[in-house]
A and B are shown apart, each in its own frame.
Chain A
């Protein structure tokens, strides 16, 4: 029998060791044959919930959704004991961060791993019900997860009295209707409750009053998928997976998209450098172009430069460089790509995905889009750059209701910092129209700035 785990005999890639995209995901029997559900059995039969919580805490597993919050600490805030009442475990599978596609791989190719992970984590926090809040577009993942849940239930890994014990756990897949903000855990909870996907005020944190007002843990797919392995192999093993590349433990699903030769997603020791990701795994820049800038982990992270490529991709190191590791899936920009256009594209996304609750985000992001479009068309006025800079300040952390707008400002503020000249080139006063440019004037409004641009056009044409 050819075991898939044979490709990773040393257990160095716990999350993807059973994945064979060409062959498709393992069903229940195959998964069990590879040792699947052993962690759940160990947990339910041999361990107390507190034991698992302690292991996760000792492993210093940090949330893989982007924020890097220690999972053990998050779990420790949930009330335990016989009087704790109904509790929920929610898997945040609303993977909508532009340039990020790691959870999709885990769910499509190893659905039973997530099911086991959720059951094990639910046992650790004493939850009776779990939801996988799944991005609506992930149709294949929904299908495979539902099949895995059915199989697991039939096998007694889910449902009433799991593995003959006293504990019961029901798991449901809930597909979202396509809102980026549902990735924010409290907006996700609102959406799950059937309400508008607006983030909630904190406190109370979900651990105290989350879904249906009950204690709730929300964890990312990749975070959860680490749990069975930590339960089986312990905290020290987990820490050692980093191969000494980082303070943090474990592996990380890294990836690369943009103008690279071989975009993809790979499980590597946490702390692997972005250079290795781009040059080794992604095969370098397409067409031999030079790298201009890169986003470390999704659209809501600050751009970094080629000079940052050798930094370890972990939460603290990237933060020190002025950005965030985020999801760890880098996006590369080539030398001939416009930073203004790239940022405009991102801000259009963020403006569209604002929930509309707080003023700076709701009204500030569309303003930034309009400013960027004007600059992109060469119709900017000198104040536009000041306004963009002002928006990055007033839409920043602490000013808005949640982290959506501050995240949206990260690529803009870093682009302004590193590539201001590109923005200045988009001002009408600096813009040199090319022969045959039909219209470089604003399509609305004839203010003094537009008049100035018109004058300049005359001069250019003369």
Chain B
């Protein structure tokens, strides 16, 4: 800690910070542009100038850039000094010489850091009377709009895109007053994290194109604290809604998880919630078509079906909330509830849960991954399965910059100096995966192998770390690499092992666990990160329910009523297996999407999308997080029957004469009581009774013009806002909006706003230390902790020979819901088959030739990608893409020439 003196007041601050960060953390406002809590200081914009004095007696002082000056003990500064103020105003006036002042038509307007800083400095009249420099804009793909004339050349975009995210196709060109931030030529931005440019850019150069198409000002939207369902990382998001449509997704800061950044799948994959073909009414099958029914009719018909006397089973879903799954389980009874995950997904996820819950190594948060100083990635291409992890692994590698600059006594927030010192030095990242990954370019070493080879490497590393770990016979190259990895991990302060269900191998996960277990004996700071298939896979695994294959075996073509919860079974089991099992079944499908399963149902009940319902999700580290409803669709159309799945089930129970829940908190309490593993989920967020000063918390920003009709597109007369019995949040702008209420929990902050801070920079105001934890602590609750010790997993017998299936998880297109969003589809590859070059030569298959791929019941014709990086015997198929049936990793495949 250090004492600093600001305008005559003395404060305690973190002496390791720079003055800007220290002052912002104190709640003192200093305008800034090039600095960003995740990108640190470079001193380019000169906006954050303050007057620094030598000591208490110095009356002259000199201007310094607060971002470039350490907050060392006994520093005397003035923010209010006249010269400093005039200089800061001058800087904005200089930035404005080329800015087009097109705020009325700019998507950034109303949540623009440049607007906020301009007001903060008091710059209000234009002195510049000459022409402005203009630029050509570029097409950058379906996600990002480009308006270079608004650029104030703060360099944040390239610092984020290139330095932080490792992108290569966005750069700075030109010089002097003609610097240009864009691509060398027009084209789709390649990075899977490009969307963060929209928030990193302090003005409207890079804007969210998906939002532009359905543009609404920030103050006209309604928001909620929500959890991304794009994968199991559980990034915190802030969806914005207007007139019953999701308009955009913004990052919702969480210091342990997403920090300031989301992946593009998560940010731009919300289109499924706006699809016009979503079921919005109860749909009752009549012959080959559906008839629309009211909610009550749907409930009654459902209750009749359930009462029919036939066997009733429930199939849950890893993409549905804990509450929905629990409701279904309690309706059908634990003995009739099935998780809805495929046997392979379920068993691998259960194995991950076992490792995390029973093993001696904690599950890494994203922040912990950022901090790792040596990493072994075994089997997982995280870009496809847990993309935010891939971005964090880049930070782990870049951690070397901080180490090296600290050695040279340069503060770690001096971003440019750190890069000058460390040059291309990186912390060691070992990547052993079946196929090349984008992270290979920053790896210390890579290994390409099939599951057996990867497991052998992992176990060899474990044995090299601890002789009591199972010994494995490995070839000389593998043994040497294993020794090198072991030595590196051993020397690290914060080693990390990354694996997961991605390559479909229990042996790989067990080998990764063995490495972590062995390392944990030497270093208590060891952590592990395991990617699991879907947003709530881990939560569902905690139910301990049998899987989908067990459900199909039980059905076995017999008469039954099957309640399928938010699950497209056609993505998880082969058509023939489903047809055979469901031959005599009556299906009630509760879902918010039209799927192959809803198409076969007798009754479809429209469920809430992530934006329309509340629920709890358990992420890949076992953190339960509550996602809150953004809007009520019935407010715009009272005929809409859409509601949370658990509400449908509650109403079915009522219709069946069973006691039922009426509020979310009751379902949660019931779930905790019924399933001990879920104990604690109530603490994921405050319950519906929570109030601040007796008031609920507003979902919408305040509009100083007074209340604006939320249904103005329909009629200006406004009915009473929907009352929310499930959460402490209020629909519309009524309620608490204060950033200063320290008791405001992070789980209840729908959007970033604070007086004078309309842009995402307003997160500053919610953080205890800027860039650090939230004032009330970060949200979510860990449902389990790692254990003291666990035995090593024994070695497994090698897999079978011959051509074997390998699912390839794609960032765009592999995840079911985001794949329905049009801009994601634009980025999704066409289906293909990846074949090892030796296999291809043996079979006479040429690159890009149409190839016959046969496995199980399926016979596909796909263009071949002949690859040198794919191990012999592995046949890669992009999971989840159109034209690709459900895949079982390791299944036998036959390949042949031609279509």
For residues 198 through 249 of chain A, which have their beta carbon under 8 Å from a beta carbon of chain B? 200-201, 203-204, 208-209, 212-213
Complex contacts, A447 vs chain B, CB 8 Å: 129
Complex contacts, A204 vs chain B, CB 8 Å: 405, 408, 410, 417, 420-421
Identify which of B38-46, B385-393, B621-629, B861-869 touches chain A.
B38-46
* Beta-carbon contact of A209 and B179 below 8 Å: no
| Residue B185, interface by CB 8 Å | no
| Residue A360, interface by CB 8 Å | yes
* Beta-carbon contact of A363 and B421 below 8 Å: no
| Residue B317, interface by CB 8 Å | no
Complex contacts, A352 vs chain B, CB 8 Å: 176
* Beta-carbon contact of A362 and B420 below 8 Å: no
* Beta-carbon contact of B46 and A203 below 8 Å: no
In this complex, what residue of B is CB-closest to A181? B175
A358-B43, A359-B95 known; A351 vs B176 contact (CB < 8 Å): yes
CB distance from B179 to the nearest CB of A (A): 4
Q: Mark A375-399, 1 if CB is under 8 A from B, else 0.
A: 0000001010001001000100011
Identify which of A18-26, A31-39, A364-372 touches chain B.
A364-372
| Residue B127, interface by CB 8 Å | yes
* Beta-carbon contact of A358 and B46 below 8 Å: yes
| Residue B715, interface by CB 8 Å | no
| Residue A434, interface by CB 8 Å | no
Complex contacts, B46 vs chain A, CB 8 Å: 358-360, 399-401
A356-B174, A362-B176, A401-B43 known; A367 vs B63 contact (CB < 8 Å): no
CB distance from A212 to the nearest CB of B (A): 6
In this complex, what residue of B is CB-closest to A200? B420
* Beta-carbon contact of B44 and A359 below 8 Å: yes
| Residue B47, interface by CB 8 Å | yes
* Beta-carbon contact of B127 and A383 below 8 Å: yes
* Beta-carbon contact of B172 and A196 below 8 Å: yes
A364 to B178, CA, bound (A): 13
In this complex, what residue of A is CB-closest to B90? A394
CB distance from B42 to the nearest CB of A (A): 7
A189 to B129, CA, bound (A): 38
A-side interface size class: 35 or more
A204-B408, A363-B98 known; A179 vs B175 contact (CB < 8 Å): yes
| Residue A172, interface by CB 8 Å | no
A358-B46, A363-B177 known; A209 vs B408 contact (CB < 8 Å): yes
| Residue A165, interface by CB 8 Å | no
CB distance from A200 to the nearest CB of B (A): 5
* Beta-carbon contact of B91 and A359 below 8 Å: yes
* Beta-carbon contact of B410 and A356 below 8 Å: no
CB distance from A445 to the nearest CB of B (A): 6
* Beta-carbon contact of B153 and A201 below 8 Å: no
* Beta-carbon contact of A212 and B423 below 8 Å: yes
Complex contacts, B155 vs chain A, CB 8 Å: 357
CB distance from B173 to the nearest CB of A (A): 9
CB distance from A202 to the nearest CB of B (A): 8
For residues 318 through 361 of chain A, which have their beta carbon under 8 Å from a beta carbon of chain B? 351-360
* Beta-carbon contact of A390 and B90 below 8 Å: yes
In this complex, what residue of A is CB-closest to B86? A394
Complex contacts, B420 vs chain A, CB 8 Å: 200-201, 204, 209, 213
For residues 274 through 327 of chain A, which have their beta carbon under 8 Å from a beta carbon of chain B? none
| Residue A444, interface by CB 8 Å | yes
A261 to B174, CA, bound (A): 40
A366 to B423, CA, bound (A): 33
* Beta-carbon contact of A398 and B176 below 8 Å: no
A370 to B174, CA, bound (A): 20
Complex contacts, A213 vs chain B, CB 8 Å: 404, 420-423, 425
In this complex, what residue of A is CB-closest to B33? A359
| Residue B324, interface by CB 8 Å | no
A203-B410, A394-B87 known; A359 vs B63 contact (CB < 8 Å): no
A398 to B84, CA, bound (A): 12
Complex contacts, B179 vs chain A, CB 8 Å: 356, 362
In this complex, what residue of A is CB-closest to B97? A363
* Beta-carbon contact of B87 and A357 below 8 Å: no
* Beta-carbon contact of B416 and A362 below 8 Å: no
A383 to B172, CA, bound (A): 35
Complex contacts, A355 vs chain B, CB 8 Å: 175-176
A347 to B58, CA, bound (A): 35
CB distance from A416 to the nearest CB of B (A): 17
| Residue B68, interface by CB 8 Å | yes
CB distance from B81 to the nearest CB of A (A): 14
Complex contacts, A445 vs chain B, CB 8 Å: 129-130
A200's partner among B98, B172, B174, B416 (CB-CB below 8 A) is B416
Q: Mark B26-45, 1 if CB is under 8 A from A, else 0.
A: 00000000000000001111
A399 to B174, CA, bound (A): 23
In this complex, what residue of B is CB-closest to A371? B130
* Beta-carbon contact of B175 and A201 below 8 Å: no
* Beta-carbon contact of A203 and B91 below 8 Å: no
* Beta-carbon contact of A353 and B176 below 8 Å: yes
A445 to B130, CA, bound (A): 8
For residues 143 through 159 of chain B, which have their beta carbon under 8 Å from a beta carbon of chain A? 152-153, 155
A204-B408, A213-B420 known; A367 vs B128 contact (CB < 8 Å): yes
For residues 154 through 208 of chain A, which have their beta carbon under 8 Å from a beta carbon of chain B? 179, 196-197, 200-201, 203-204, 208
A114 to B498, CA, bound (A): 55
A199 to B130, CA, bound (A): 29
* Beta-carbon contact of B45 and A399 below 8 Å: no
* Beta-carbon contact of A366 and B421 below 8 Å: no
A354 to B94, CA, bound (A): 15
| Residue B473, interface by CB 8 Å | no
A362 to B44, CA, bound (A): 10
* Beta-carbon contact of B421 and A362 below 8 Å: no
CB distance from B95 to the nearest CB of A (A): 6
Complex contacts, A200 vs chain B, CB 8 Å: 416-417, 420
For residues 113 through 169 of chain B, which have their beta carbon under 8 Å from a beta carbon of chain A? 127-131, 133, 152-153, 155
Q: Which of A201, A374, A390 has the most CB of B within 10 A?
A: A201
| Residue B62, interface by CB 8 Å | yes
| Residue B382, interface by CB 8 Å | no
* Beta-carbon contact of A366 and B177 below 8 Å: yes
* Beta-carbon contact of B416 and A364 below 8 Å: no
Q: Mark B387-420, 1 if CB is under 8 A from A, else 0.
A: 0000000000000000011001110001011001
In this complex, what residue of A is CB-closest to B180? A356
CB distance from A406 to the nearest CB of B (A): 13
In this complex, what residue of A is CB-closest to B62? A398
* Beta-carbon contact of B94 and A359 below 8 Å: yes
B131's partner among A212, A357, A444 (CB-CB below 8 A) is A444
Complex contacts, B128 vs chain A, CB 8 Å: 367
Complex contacts, A196 vs chain B, CB 8 Å: 172, 175
Complex contacts, B42 vs chain A, CB 8 Å: 201
For residues 38 through 81 of chain B, which have their beta carbon under 8 Å from a beta carbon of chain A? 42-47, 49, 62-64, 68
A204-B408, A356-B176 known; A367 vs B421 contact (CB < 8 Å): no
In this complex, what residue of B is CB-closest to A354? B176
CB distance from B155 to the nearest CB of A (A): 7
In this complex, what residue of A is CB-closest to B98? A363
Complex contacts, A390 vs chain B, CB 8 Å: 90
Given contacts A357-B44, A362-B179, A399-B46, 9 further A-B contacts (CB under 8 A): A196-B175, A201-B43, A204-B405, A209-B421, A357-B155, A363-B177, A366-B97, A398-B62, A444-B131
Closest 6 CB pairs of A and B: A363-B94, A356-B179, A370-B130, A213-B423, A209-B421, A354-B176
18 residue pairs from A and B, CB less than 8 Å apart:
A196-B172, A200-B417, A201-B68, A208-B408, A213-B404, A353-B176, A354-B175, A356-B176, A357-B155, A359-B94, A360-B90, A362-B176, A366-B177, A367-B94, A394-B87, A401-B44, A445-B130, A449-B129
Residue numbers of B with Cβ under 8 A of A are 42-47, 49, 62-64, 68, 87, 90-91, 94-95, 97-98, 127-131, 133, 152-153, 155, 172, 174-179, 404-405, 408-410, 414, 416-417, 420-423, 425
Residue numbers of A with Cβ under 8 A of B are 179, 196-197, 200-201, 203-204, 208-209, 212-213, 351-360, 362-367, 370, 374, 381, 383, 387, 390, 394, 398-401, 442, 444-445, 447, 449
